[in-house]
A = this chain, B = another copy of it.
C-alpha cells in the first residue's frame, strides 16, 4: 500500500516532466530546497526517477524558522547524497530579510530576494534549469490572488515551465499537479524529515486567506481544483513585455533598477 501510493505519485511527476518537456538528463539541474515538505518530496522523487541534480538552500534569516529550515535542508541533502549550496542573506547582504522590511511587507521582500538569489545563483553557476516545489494548492491560491487583484501579467509566471530568456534561467514546477496533501503523505510514507516549524509571517501571507475557497471547491468535487489549474494555465499566455537591464546588477528588470537592487540598496553586482 505504502509503495503503491509513492510509485503512483512518482509516475505522475514523471508524466508532468515529460508532458511539459521540463528537462532531460543532460541538463544541469538545480532544485531549490527549502527544508520543507514539498521541495523535499520533489527532490526524493527526482532521485527515484534517476535524475542527477544539485540543491540550493537560501537562509533568509527569519530567526528560529530559518535555522531549522537550513538544518533540515542539510539533513535532506545528506539523505539524498547530493551537493547542497547554501546562500545566507545576512552574510551576503549584511542584513536579514526582516531587518530590511521597513517600507515593504516582509513576504514581499522575502519573495523578491529568494527569487532573485535563486536565479542569480543558477545563472552564475551555469545551471540550465531551476526547479521549485510549488504544488497545486500553491498555484491555485496564486491564481486566485492574481485574478482578484488584477495582476494579470503576474499570471504568466504561473505556468509549469517558464522558458529561459536572456539571464533568466528556465524555471519549472514538476509538482504543478500534485496536491499539498499528496506531498505530505509522500514524505510521511517515505520517512523524509522536514522542518516542522511554520514561518512566523505565514499568517500575514496574502495567499493564506484563499484556503476557504480551496476548501469550498474540494467540498463540491475533489478533482475540480486540478481541472481549474490545468484549464486556467492553458488560458494564460507568456508575457510579451520587453525587458530592460538593471543598471546596477545587469540582470533583467522591468525598471531601470531591479526590485532586488532597490530593496537592498545595492551599488554593485553581488559576488557569489
Task: For chain A, give the interface size range.
Answer: 20 to 34
Closest Cβ neighbor of A224 among chain B residues: B148
**A213, B210: Cβ atoms under 8 Å?**
no
- Judged by a CB distance under 8 angstroms, whether A147 is at the interface is yes
**B219, A212: Cβ atoms under 8 Å?**
yes
**B220, A209: Cβ atoms under 8 Å?**
yes
- Judged by a CB distance under 8 angstroms, whether A79 is at the interface is no
CB distance from A187 to the nearest CB of B (A): 29
Which residue from B147, B148, B220 sits with its C-beta under 8 Å from A210? B220
CB distance from A122 to the nearest CB of B (A): 30
A200-236 residues with Cβ-Cβ distance < 8 A to B are: 209-210, 212-213, 215-217, 219-221, 224, 227-228, 230-232, 234-236
Other contacts beyond A155-B235, A212-B219: 20, CB < 8 A: A144-B228, A146-B231, A147-B228, A147-B232, A148-B217, A148-B224, A148-B227, A148-B228, A150-B227, A150-B231, A152-B231, A152-B235, A212-B216, A212-B220, A213-B216, A213-B217, A213-B220, A215-B216, A216-B216, A235-B235
